[in-house]
Structure 1
């Protein structure tokens, strides 16, 4: 469902300099969080500005996606990949939950870029100096060996096209688990959130949003799988409430994300009074199945051992 809050805030488009406001005003909300390199070049040429300058101009648009019930302080960020595509990000806070669950705007833009399959961060534009938390998160992109690279399918243990699953939510959660970034703890985690859609013409009236764990060497700046999924949902201009189903896959080591995930889900679903159970599966690179820790059900997986 398209967010009414974002709809109201997008009146800011009219305040953007001409001709940018004209170029953007007729685009659907779903297309205002991401711009292809062609669109970026067209906007830069129309305004005779650089990509960095365009990023600054787009910051008010990026901040319109923010959710800040605690601070009431909306922050925007714009990330450009090496191909010139632009990915907007904003800060997200969660009322009634630990402030440490917050997604910072810099994290949002980078995670948005990662979820769309980008491979290299070339430029990050923000409207305030990054905090130490975000500096460490950004540094991970610089020091990691292609942190934003998709995992090599030949070294992938739980491939989406080789999974015997009951439904797509299982398959996509497994795929997210297998393509996360957890080089320090080895605690891989992927999640799939299932939402109902209003398009009655479709035989399947659900849509799935996935998230994968983005680990940081300092641990605290890491971005959990649920936050990555919620961030992507919001940057598509959609509300993240009214989740119908949650499937989570973990290769647990010394910790688990399931309790923090359960707590945050309870917070964001407060308005609907829904208690959404997590279908929680334990995955392993050395096993040929996923084990549901609650129902004891087994999902068969064809693994590749490396």
Structure 2
């Protein structure tokens, strides 16, 4: 399937589209270090269920490109959300079902929290996925700190050089650590790993993992969004949140319930790790369909 592109905000966003153009809009966001292929099977199921499924490459991945060389290569959460909202505007999509995990889930959560009129329903991997940067310096349990080693690695220039030099090997390591029960083959990995050859990948990734700890400034263009996120706004749209019970980087998020003030259901995918839609495509597709039913009946 050949990607389509659209100019949206600061980006030329590349995306795959599945289903009929007059289907109900559904936008699905991938995480780090993955890409649009996380949704290959899920999108097909959803298209058969009547959806128009749009799966974009995030900034710094695959064929997505910055429109201006002078634009900061920000990977902050507000930038990801702004890209998603700008894409909806550029495609003329007034409202959509949003879904995502990791970085893509963060963008979907922010749009759902700050622009709920644009969201029919939400499916969020790892639940309330909006960073609390003001509290990012608070220590957590040592066994959970250990899961985040790669983030602290990226805080150093050694980590930047390591990502630049070994991006595929590092990503393969994270895939194995985060989804220990997922028996992906090399072809599956290589299909997604090609997206890490984007010229902006390293800069965007490093900025993301430094900004979330308050170590570097954000892009001033998104400061108004980051300011609103300090309050950790609730998500009011109908939501199904999802965890995998074999996730090697996230120990579970059922305690996020209080952040969802609208209709909400939490699901756990048995045996699934971090890459939820690719490991459990039918279950993820069912969650999207069910979230939409929560909203429209």
Aligning the two structures, in what range does the TM-score lie when normalised by the shorter sequence? under 0.3
Structure number with bigger Rg? 1
More relative contact order, 1 or 2 (CA 8 Å, 6+ apart): 2
Q: TM-score, normalized by length of structure 2? A: 0.27
Larger proportion of helix: 2
Q: TM-score, normalized by length of structure 1? A: 0.27
